[in-house]
Chain A
Amino acid sequence: MNLLRKSLLPVSAVLMCMMPVMLPHRAAAAVYGPTLTSPVTPSRLTGVDGFIPRWSLLEPIPVNGLTEAEVQAMAKKQWFPDEYTVIPKDGQTEAVGDATKTWHAVDTRLYNVNLYHFAYSLKKPTSNVLFWAVTIVNAPEEMHDVRLAIGSNAASVWWVNGEEVVGIYNDRQTTIDDGVSKRLTLKKGPNVVRAAVVNAGGATDFCARFLDANGKPVKGLTITLSEPK
């Protein structure tokens, strides 16, 4: 696994400025542990490995359970308004019960997004928690028969353009392409990918990419956190 991470690092570190979108509100890059920073460019491209390197993450919500029934119930519960449609801005807050949770824009320098680093750096709990994650995948053209391929520690449920497409459950490590959706179509332009990741204890992270009709990673997708004006 360490060898894999080293080999993927140069690819996922590629930065590109392609689209006229808003920059994050922070003047300097925030750091979320050893692997995550706030974005300093308007967009990033997926590299040859296809992994999506930029996400908006909501601070963790306390939950309990990892079975399919438990995680599906968590994913269907309305924790905050517009949880299936919100395109959050960096620093935006949500009222979750009596608590206020903040969205954070992050870039990862690895293939995966380390939620343990994220929560720990914010002095938030890392165990028995639910993370919401959102990103926008801008496709240069309509793409048919692609699949969203994900891995997560632990369980997770995923949506593309509002449709639930894949879920994996129970206590598990992040494995590349652990869960793979049915064939779907990415429309030309922005496509919203949303995830709910649930951790019980210990490390927690996820990775996601699109595979083409031949099972190859889709590279050259432009990743942003807001839709183009």
Chain B
Amino acid sequence: MFGGTGSPIADQTAAQVQANWPAGVVQAAMDNYLCEAQQKWQLTAVPNAGGYPGAPYFKITIAGTDRSLAATPDNELAVVPAFTNAPEQLWRLDQLADGSFRIMPKSSTDPKNPMALSAIGASFPTLEKFDPKSDRQHWLLKTP
């Protein structure tokens, strides 16, 4: 609503704007949340992809698309055009004591140095060795 009149403006959807998105692999970035389509991520459990009892691996896609968050071999992040069930596109979610989540790629195979989704600087995510004391690696999951 604007000035107490009219009705709430509906959130932007991917269908409205994805024709203008770049094709191929794109770098993941962070920005202030403005209800834009590329800022809404859908977490979907992937059956038969491994995991632990009650804790399957998830795919993380831009809502309304098949564009999938993926770990890269150099421990950075990318958004690939389509989900392929590859280990770098499967994510383990562990809820921490404060209610937030640690998010780790299946492709992070070193149990002594697990890599977790981390913010770095003000505008980018990366993968870093998990540090329980770092708030950069505690992610809150909320319904838009």
Q: Please list the residues of chain A having a beta carbon within 8 angstroms of any beta carbon in chain B.
A: 147, 149, 151, 166, 168, 175, 177-180, 182-183, 215
Contacts and interface: CB of A to CB of B under 8 A. Distances in A.
Interface string B24-36: 0000000000000
Chain B contact residues: over half helix, strand or loop, or mixed? loop
A183 B123 contact: no
Interface string B107-121: 000000000000011
A175 B120 contact: no
A177 B136 CA distance: 14
23 contacts: A147-B120, A149-B121, A151-B122, A166-B124, A168-B123, A175-B122, A177-B121, A178-B121, A178-B122, A178-B123, A179-B121, A179-B122, A179-B123, A179-B124, A180-B121, A180-B123, A180-B124, A180-B126, A182-B74, A182-B76, A182-B126, A183-B74, A183-B76
Interface of B: 74-76, 120-124, 126
Contacts of B121: 149, 177-180
B110 to A, nearest CB: 16
B75 A180 contact: no
A80 to B, nearest CB: 28
A215 B128 CA distance: 10
A1 to B, nearest CB: 14
Contacts of B120: 147, 180, 215
Contacts of A178: 121-123
A157 to B, nearest CB: 13
Contacts of A177: 121-122
A123 to B, nearest CB: 34
Nearest to A150: B121
Contacts of B74: 182-183
Nearest to A172: B123
B125 to A, nearest CB: 10
B116 to A, nearest CB: 14
A149 B124 CA distance: 11
B83 to A, nearest CB: 23
Contacts of A147: 120
A183 B72 CA distance: 12
Contacts of A215: 120
Given A178-B121, A179-B121, A182-B126, 18 more contacts: A147-B120, A149-B121, A166-B124, A175-B122, A177-B121, A177-B122, A178-B122, A178-B123, A179-B122, A179-B124, A180-B121, A180-B123, A180-B124, A180-B126, A182-B74, A182-B76, A183-B76, A215-B120
A168 B29 CA distance: 10
A149 to B, nearest CB: 6
Contacts of A175: 122
Nearest to B120: A180
A229 B4 CA distance: 69
Nearest to B77: A182
Contacts of A183: 74-76
Contacts of B75: 183
A196 B110 CA distance: 39
Nearest to B31: A170
Q: Which of B121, B122, B124, B126 has the most chain A CB atoms closer than 10 A to its own CB?
A: B121
Nearest to A68: B22
B136 to A, nearest CB: 9
Contacts of A149: 121
Contacts of B124: 166, 179-180
A173 to B, nearest CB: 11
